[in-house]
Amino acid sequence: MSGELSEMAIKGIIRQVGVECAAQGQALSETLVAFMVKAVVLDPRNYFLMGQILTEKEMQDLIQLCVFRLLDTTNPSLSTIKMQVYFDMNYSNRAELLHEQQRVLEGKLAPVARDITDTCPCAQEDVETLYQKIVSYVLLCSGLGSPADAETVREVTAALQSVFSQTEMTTFISLSKKDKERQLRNFATLVTGIRLYNKECRKGGSSIDDLPTILNEAIPSATKTVDEGLNACHVLAHKYTALLESMQEDPHRYMQLSSFKLKEALFNVRQYEAFLCILLSDAVTSAQEVESLTIQFEAAMIQLRNTVQDKVSIDSKEVFPLFVELSKLWTSFQDEMLLLNFLTNMTNELQQFLEIQSQLFPEEVLTSLLEGVTVKSDEERIRETMGTRVNVSDFKNQEWLFPENMDNFDQLLIQYHHFCAHAIGVKGLTLPGNSAIGILKHKQKYYVFSSQEAAYTFAQDPDKFIQLNIEKAKEYPELIQLLELHHQFENLIPHAQVRNADIYLMKPTAKCDSGTQTDTHILPPTIVRSYEWNEWEMRRKAIKLANLRRKLTHAMQTDLSHMKRENCTQVYLPKEVSTQTKRDNSSNVPKPQIFLKGLRGESSLATHMVKVDLTRAVDET
């Protein structure tokens, strides 16, 4: 098994590590195993290099080291990596999640729609069966009730008959497949709008949940849960940071706390905090969207109620668009409900990766360690440095930016997830950066710092400290995603080993393509219509002009044509021509006329028959 440590060899190691972990009762995903194998190879403390020739013993040492780290459930680093893999594999933004939900819904409805569009019944019984299938499709497409509920089915049938009766089935059957599919979608939209209006009028809709009310109650609750998780994360992060700073200031404290995995615990809390911030942002967006949808839905319902009122009949062109609008708004409510459930599930699932904190650092242990230590929050650290800023004149070759001098500061992509670029590699801490101190622009990238001293030190040799941060990320692989170092470790864990070659475990840093455009024609157009680019066309025109020079026009005048001109034309009249063929002759044969006398017999025994031939001669005819 010895050989060069190449991509192919790493794939074999990944399979072997997965087998050994499974043998010890830990069924781990191939993505997690692949990440850990490459993280171990990248760690300089393990002395493995890509392209290195490994002996059989070194290969086994690498496998055992990966297995040990994957089975070490007491290490917060493993929980952080598991959290990152889980979030990467399961999280989707609003657009992706709704697109996937639409794809799944269309996949479920496809067999039902195909059964309807491919059927061309002739018998009346089959036509009625097809109509019931349309009712089922409309009900499933709207998501308002179950096909097993008889009352709901009757309600949907009545709503469908108001826009599409069974007498129109013949016309529907004669449509093409695409037209049928379009009609089915229209039926579903209209029926949904009708049922929502009936629910508002209290004439049905008992199976329809009041989504606006549910969302207005559930979103604040979900937001509160995420806020509570964030507050707990902030408290732990501040305590861990204070302990790590005390270790660096006091050698005695370092000896006391070196056995605790404080850095790994800090990175675990910071990563959990980062993911909760993403979920909280989505929850806030959902709350704003629900508020806007509620206003639109109420306005549309009032407009529909004023349009319908108590009229016996109403023009479909006037009321159908309102039903469609109600249906679309309700579909948006359903989307927000789906997003809320997704965010709630993600929040609940992420909590399992923070359980190791209470196991390693119970409240009483953490309290005893913090005796005599001053704990500062991120906000307090930023407030302490608000009065200090970088003096731009001290740096001739460095570009510094400040928030008050930038219009698009919120869209600026700060490196290291807004953590201090100096403290990561030097201290191994994730201190919040204060943009008021100054934002350093180095090689088209932006860095913030936690203090003026850190900013000055980093600016003296940015490449040196950037490399220190990379080395720190090799020691602690969870920092790669936490600090958004994907561009530095693009080949860390390609999903080609798991899914395909184009998707990576770590999603790439978001980028923005920009462009400028000028007026197409600033000056008035000067198009020469007589211009010809074709040489042969120019030759043709030249020959034509040359021929005209040799042409003369003659004219004469007579007394008879004075002051007028007589025109006449002459044509040849059609010529009558006939031909003669041979003469047709015929002959007529006389008709034979023969009479017989005496065939009936007479009184005598002997019969005497007389034959008289009256046929005319041929020359007499």
pLDDT-based confidence at residue 615 (cuts at 50, 70, 90) = confident
The residue ranking higher by pLDDT, 519 or 254, is: 254
* pLDDT on residue 492: 52
Total Cβ atoms within 10 A of residue 380: 11
- In this prediction, residue 582 carries a pLDDT of 75
pLDDT band at 352 (very low <50, low <70, confident <90, very high): very high
Looking at residues 98-117, what average pLDDT do you find? 91
Pairing state of beta strands 610-613 and 53-54? Answer: unpaired
- Helix (H), strand (E), coil (C) string for 187-231: HHHHHHHHHHHHHHCCCCCCCCCCHHHHHHHHHHHHHHHHHHHHH
Q: Find tokens 């509570």 and name the residue.
A: 228
pLDDT of residue 125 exceeding 80, the answer is: yes
Q: Is the pLDDT of residue 14 over 70?
A: yes
pLDDT beyond 60 at 496: no
Q: Residue 449's beta-bridge partner residues?
A: 434
Tell me what pLDDT residue 566 has.
Answer: 64
Instruction: Retrieve residue 302's tokens.
Output: 């009032």
pLDDT at 491: 53
Instruction: Take residue 598 and report the two structure tokens written for it.
Output: 């005496």
Three-class DSSP category at 54: strand
Q: Rounded mean pLDDT of 287-307?
A: 92
Q: What are the pLDDT digits (tens) for 356-369?
A: 888 888 889 888 88
- Predicted pLDDT at 509: 40
Task: Say yes or no to pLDDT of 387 above 60.
Answer: yes
Q: Is the pLDDT of residue 618 over 90?
A: no
- Residues composing the chain: 621
Percent of the chain with pLDDT over 90: 41
Query: In the structure, what pLDDT confidence band is assigned to residue 495 with cuts at 50, 70 and 90?
Result: very low
User: Among 28, 33, 27, which residue's Cα sits nearest to residue 10?
Assistant: 33
Is residue 448 exposed (0-12), middle (13-18) or buried (19+ Cβ within 10 Å)? buried
What pLDDT score does 498 carry?
37
**What is the arithmetic mean of pLDDT over 410-423?**
89
- Give me the pLDDT at residue 513, please: 61
Q: Which helix (H) or strand (E) holds 345?
A: helix 316-350
The confidence score (pLDDT) of residue 234 equals: 93
pLDDT (average), residues 505-523 = 58
409 close to 435: Cβ distance less than 8 angstroms: yes
Q: How confident is the model at residue 207 (pLDDT cuts 50, 70, 90)?
A: confident
**Per mean pLDDT, which range of 201-205, 240-244, 263-267 is the poorest?**
201-205
Q: Are 58 and 47 in contact (CB under 8 A)?
A: no
Average pLDDT over the chain reads 85
Give me the domains of the chain, ranges plus CATH numbers.
1-71 (no CATH), 119-201 (no CATH), 211-370 (1.20.1460), 378-488 (no CATH)
DSSP codes, 376-443: --HHHHHHHTTT----GGG-SS-EEE-GGG-S-GGG--BGGGGB-HHHHHHH---PBPBTTT-EEEET
Could you tell me the end-to-end alpha-carbon distance of the chain, in angstroms, rounded to an integer?
A: 124
Give the pLDDT score at 469: 93
Q: What is the mean predicted confidence (pLDDT) over 220-244?
A: 93
Pairwise CA distance, residues 331 & 193, whole Å? 10
